[in-house]
Amino acid sequence: MGPHRRNVDDVLARINFPLFTLQMLTNRHVLVGGGGGSSKTGVANGFEIFELSHDGKKFHVEEVTRHETGPNVVMNCAVSKTVDGKHTYLVAGQESHCQLYKVNTELVTLENGNIETIGHNHSDDKSELRERKPKAKQKNDAKKTVKKRLKFVLSPSESVQTDFNGTEPLCRVLRIHPNGKIMATGGTDGDVRIWKFPNLQPLAKLKGHSKEIDDIDFSTFGNYLITVAKDGLAILWDCVKGTEIKRLTWQQPKGSKYLYKRCRFAPIEKEHKSALYMLTNPTGVAKKQKSYLQQWFPEHGVIKRSAEFDESVSALAVRDDGRFVAVGTMFSGSVAIYASFSLQRILNIPGAHSMFVTGLEFLPVANQENHTVCSVAEAAVLSISVDNQVCIHTLPYRKTIPLWLAIVILMFTMFLTFLFCSYIDI
């Protein structure tokens, strides 16, 4: 069982609207989205982008961009970069439609806390930083501080309807393939749709679920697509052929019924395969039973190992190198980090949020040459909730014994054993 921890420094930011989706826009920039919906509550809808930094003791964030989406709440989103890295796209589920944004960056120079120069001015874009008039020139120029920061401009592009439920159409989830060429969406009509990305042209419609889709994910290796829905099914698809491969089933406790909640693939780089992690919760009269984090072999359709919870689980994330898995809970708002290979809990943060966790995202580590801020810890995961808070939870580097010291201890132990055996004449 991992250590328990709850620090005041875990809270990075408080937003003025409920949060439903979370993405890393770059290695240092965090994007969160949400809102209060179309009702006249006065609660905004949109995105916030923050720059993440570490001062040697704790993490900090600084707001970079705010983009409001009018009456449309942002329930989910995904970020993708082109292969050459020159273009970044953001696609967001907004009511029944998916809205594509082109993400442009501008270098902003700040002097004494004021924006002095901006590369390009987009006066009609709501994501623009508020410009201030420069202060009067200081008598002592030595006191001036100059800082450069990236500003993000979200430019709306194509928009397509992805859910066609006759009563309340809603894009529940969307995911972009790691190759950046296709996207999958699912909503309340129970259909899974495959789209060409980024031009959002329809490619296929996968019919296998009878109720609304809860989650979707693509595998890094192979052509797998996993979908889970409120009909209790977990279906493995070939996303290239658009055909069903198998339905994942397991031996549930007698007299109980479970629903899959979340699903995520994790790369196994050495084997060029993908592991599959899923959350499942009991329903109905079985609600007093355990919830589970399960590790599957998708090719064989069997569970390799599982970890249990005393409450329902609501959020799931896997780090980009596949080493760690994070889980968020429903009632206590707790966050836990597990070692992916063993599903041993190595960090537990009870009550990280005052309400259920809606999103988790690990800080990336696959490109350490870019000096990611995660290098200060063995792992770091961001969490969001409808309590309007963005939090971060870090796993400190675990202490290990140097090899030379381990050898010395082993030799000393063997020597003492030899002396003891000689003493008792063995």
Q: What is the CATH number of the domain that holds 313?
A: 2.130.10.10
Which helix (DSSP H) or strand (DSSP E) does residue 405 occupy?
Answer: helix 403-423
Please name which of 31, 267, 312 lies closest in space to residue 154, comparing C-alpha atoms: 31
- Domain presence at residue 285: yes
**pLDDT confidence bin for 170, thresholds 50/70/90:** very high
- Is 3 part of a structural domain of the chain? no
pLDDT at residue 273 in the model = 87
Q: How far is 64 from 31, CA to CA, in rounded Å?
A: 10
Task: Give domain status of residue 80, yes or no.
Answer: yes
CA dihedral 385, 376, 64, 143 (to 10 degrees): 140
Q: How does residue 168 score in pLDDT terms, banded at 50, 70 and 90?
A: confident
3-state secondary structure of 375: helix
Of 17-21, 132-136, 269-273, the one with minimum mean pLDDT is: 132-136
State the average pLDDT over residues 291-302.
92
Rounded to whole angstroms, how far apart are CA atoms 308 and 356?
Answer: 18
* Domain annotation covers residue 303: yes
Number of domains in the chain: 1
Domain that holds residue 129: 8-134+141-423
* CA–CA separation, 285 and 14 (whole Å): 37
The closest of 25, 252, 246 to 127, measured between CA atoms, is: 25
**pLDDT score for 415:** 77
Is residue 1 in a domain? no
pLDDT at 127 over 60: no
**Separation of alpha carbons 332 and 4, rounded Å:** 14
- Rounded-to-integer distance, Cα 323 and Cα 179, Å: 21
Could you tell me which of 308, 365, 313 has the C-alpha nearest to residue 334? Answer: 313
Residue 300 CB neighbour total at 10 angstroms: 9
Q: Report pLDDT for 54.
A: 87
Contact assessment for residue 121 and residue 106, using Cβ atoms and an 8 Å cutoff: no
Asked whether residue 208 is assigned to any structural domain, the reply reads yes
Please state, in angstroms and rounded to a whole number, the distance separating the CA atoms of residues 180 and 170. Answer: 23
In a domain, 393, yes or no: yes
